[in-house]
Amino acid sequence: MNKRFAFLLSASAAAFVLGGCASGVKMNKAPVENQTAANTASQGAQSQVAPVQAATETAALGPAADVARSVYFGFNSYVVEDKYRPVLEGNANYLTSHHNAHVQLQGNTDARGSREYNLALGQKRADAVMKGLEVLGVPASELEAVSFGKEKPKAAGTTEAAYAENRRVDFFYKQ
């Protein structure tokens, strides 16, 4: 990582903590599970994930069921919007209180764009979420950021709702 990019990430982290993301890398908005009716277009697809999450949680991996495990992004964006702060905080609280926990942050994109571009964008998304968790006190040793690009869609189709559902970072807890 070059020095300028590292400086920008550090400055962004400070802006996040001190300014509620008023500048720098912002905390990104997109549909969140169990959020307001404003996100109804994406909630249908999200509800299909609940059985997988429930199975994982019964194995005692990760936070309680009321803590979302995905952060969503705008088109061509890796900015984590303010409305995802509770998602980061809930996962950070779990990770800081369970020091043996490890989470893989899986960056994803919609199907538009080349494979290479989407792998890079998915990585930037995963890195942005990782930086947000680090700012909240999670040790880097408990975090891993990877990109799947457009290879692991959550929603099928070419509608804007399907695209929005696929632009995300998922929290995957491992032992």
Residue 175's pLDDT is 73
Q: Are strands 168-174 and 143-149 parallel, antiparallel or unpaired?
A: unpaired
* pLDDT, tens digit (0-9, with 9 covering 90-100), for 1-31: 444 434 334 444 433 333 333 323 333 333 3
pTM of whole model > 0.75?
A: no
* pLDDT, tens digit (0-9, with 9 covering 90-100), for 68-106: 999 999 999 999 999 999 999 999 999 999 989 999 999
Question: Distances from the Cα of 37 to the Cαs of 28, 69, 83, 140, 159, in angstroms?
Answer: 18, 19, 14, 35, 19
- Residue ranges of the domains in the chain? 25-174
Q: Domain 25-174: which topology? A: 60s Ribosomal Protein L30; Chain: A; (3.30.1330)
- pLDDT value at 115 more than 80: yes
